[in-house]
Amino acid sequence: MNILIIGGGGREHVITKYIARNPKVSKIYALPGNGGISQFAECVKISAEDIDGIVSFAATHAIDFAIVAPDDPLAMGAVDRLEAEGVKCFGPEKSAAQIESSKVFAKELMTKYGIPTAGYKVFTETDKALSYAALSDCPIVIKADGLAKGKGVTVAENFQQARDAIMSCMRDKSFGKSGERILIEECLTGPEVTVLAFTDGKTIIPMVSSMDHKRAYDGNKGPNTGGMGVIAPNPHYTPEIANECMTRIFAPTIAAMNSEGRTFKGCLYFGLMLTPEGPKVIEYNCRFGDPEAEAVLPLMESDLLDVMMAVRDERLAEVPVKFREGASCCVVCASSGYPGSYLTGYPIDLGDAGNIPGVDVFHAGTKLEGGRLLTSGGRVLAVNAVADDLPTAREMAYDAVGRITFEGMRYRSDIGAF
């Protein structure tokens, strides 16, 4: 089989690694891929957002199966376009991807179908949003409706911060069209849990739960990032809570999407908060999280491509989806300055980190140039270790990180520490 993978981060690296293991696979192409992915795939310089480029590449390379991993191409309808050309895909169609690409859509869906989430109001006019915020008890949460590269949400501790967030979204258009509509939400409290789930619209199978570490610095301080590390499973997510989530959140979400004529097929990401009143949905994503995928997929024992093809063909109930016991600890190595501005193009010395059994060095922002591995992004590497328990996984991940060097390398030292 010829496989096409869209995207070029750590998430696409881990997906490619496990896809490459399937004996049916003869060739993998990655658009655009990265330095690590090039070990398993031919990387072609076509952007993940160039839908025309992707479709014509697929048409001329006899692609049997495509995996659309990032949010932007899914929201732009890459799956609809590829399927229309006869290319089978893993990932939701545009109408179902709206569960992530419009937070207003997701909120209205949850309200209509009684799925627990934070209270909210929608605004399209700056003045009305400001006066509502002025009358609200802080903290309140201000959210841009559309995709904003993880920067569209502000948890405002006081009116000043709320006002700044509203003005930045609606008046200054910091997120373009994505911020023309905003949500003001009630602020929930409690531990956050991510659950990724495979679903074909009929069956939903949750993967091992995980915990992201969003803040830039140790002790959950500093600005939000795309994610500085992950552990899986999430220690707060008990079997009782998992049962409750299945009956009150996961199954109802799949049914709701079917009722709306937007059957969701692919990986559905549930961002949950375990509040004193029970689990509530913070947000949905329409794809694997990054870096959650780098911690969760190494725990999967079943064949990833077989599961993905079963999702596409709506026969997920017929294939095994098994995860091993034990734990993952994933530490992100970032460029100095990230999530603010940073420089790239520095040589990376991986040492012997990749040779430690149980450790994977996934490439997030790297490129190969003239045989040299160079930094090319804010998040550069996602180093994951799998072991029988979290303390061991944590020790192994940090041992591996200690063997890696590049100019300005920075990482959190408290991933998975309690």
In whole angstroms, the minimum distance from the beta carbon of 182 to ligand ADP comes to: 12
In whole angstroms, the minimum distance from the beta carbon of 144 to ligand ADP comes to: 8
Rg (CA), the chain: 21
Sole window of 191-199, 263-271, 321-329, 390-398 interacting with Mg ion (rule: CB under 5 A): 263-271
Please, which residue, 100 or 260, has the CB nearer to Mg ion?
A: 100
Binds 373: which of ligand ADP, Mg ion, none (CB < 5-8 Å by kind): none
Please, which residue, 118 or 307, has the CB nearer to ligand ADP?
A: 118
In whole angstroms, the minimum distance from the beta carbon of 349 to ligand ADP comes to: 33
Both tokens of 92, joined, read 């939701």
Sign of CA dihedral 78, 79, 83, 87: positive
Please, which residue, 272 or 350, has the CB nearer to Mg ion?
A: 272
Binds 164: which of ligand ADP, Mg ion, none (CB < 5-8 Å by kind): none
Q: Where are the beta strands (DSSP E) in 18-150?
A: 27-32, 42-43, 65-68, 88-90, 120-123, 140-144
Terminal CA-to-CA distance of the chain, rounded, Å?
A: 45
Binds 5: which of ligand ADP, Mg ion, none (CB < 5-8 Å by kind): none
In whole angstroms, the minimum distance from the beta carbon of 282 to Mg ion comes to: 7
Q: What CA–CA distance (Å, rounded) separates 266 from 123?
A: 31
Largest CA distance in the chain: 61
* Residues 269-328 within binding reach of Mg ion (CB under 5 A): 271, 283
In whole angstroms, the minimum distance from the beta carbon of 99 to ligand ADP comes to: 12
- Cβ atoms of residues 352 and 383 within 8 Å: no
Residue with the CB atom nearest Mg ion in the bound state: 271
In whole angstroms, the minimum distance from the beta carbon of 177 to ligand ADP comes to: 15
User: b/e string for 153-177 if b means 16 or more Cβ within 10 A?
Assistant: bbbbeeeebbbebbebbbeeebbee
In whole angstroms, the minimum distance from the beta carbon of 42 to Mg ion comes to: 32
In whole angstroms, the minimum distance from the beta carbon of 140 to ligand ADP comes to: 9
Of 117, 118, 62, 126, nearest in space to 88 by CA: 62
Please, which residue, 110 or 380, has the CB nearer to ligand ADP?
A: 110
Please, which residue, 2 or 275, has the CB nearer to ligand ADP?
A: 275
Q: What CA–CA distance (Å, rounded) separates 62 from 9?
A: 24
Binds 155: which of Mg ion, ligand ADP, none (CB < 5-8 Å by kind): ligand ADP
Binding mask 364-403 for Mg ion (x = CB under 5 A): ----------------------------------------
Sign of CA dihedral 18, 22, 24, 26: positive
Please, which residue, 4 or 273, has the CB nearer to Mg ion?
A: 273
Question: Which chain residues interact with ligand ADP by CB under 6 A?
Answer: 118, 141, 150, 152-153, 155, 185, 187-188, 192, 271, 282-283
Helix 94-101, helix 103-113: angle, nearest 10: 100
83 to 276, 316, 361: CA distances (angstroms):
44, 19, 33
Q: What CA–CA distance (Å, rounded) separates 86 from 366?
A: 32
Please, which residue, 40 or 288, has the CB nearer to Mg ion?
A: 288
Please, which residue, 46 or 295, has the CB nearer to ligand ADP?
A: 295
Contacting positions for Mg ion (CB under 5 A)? 271, 283
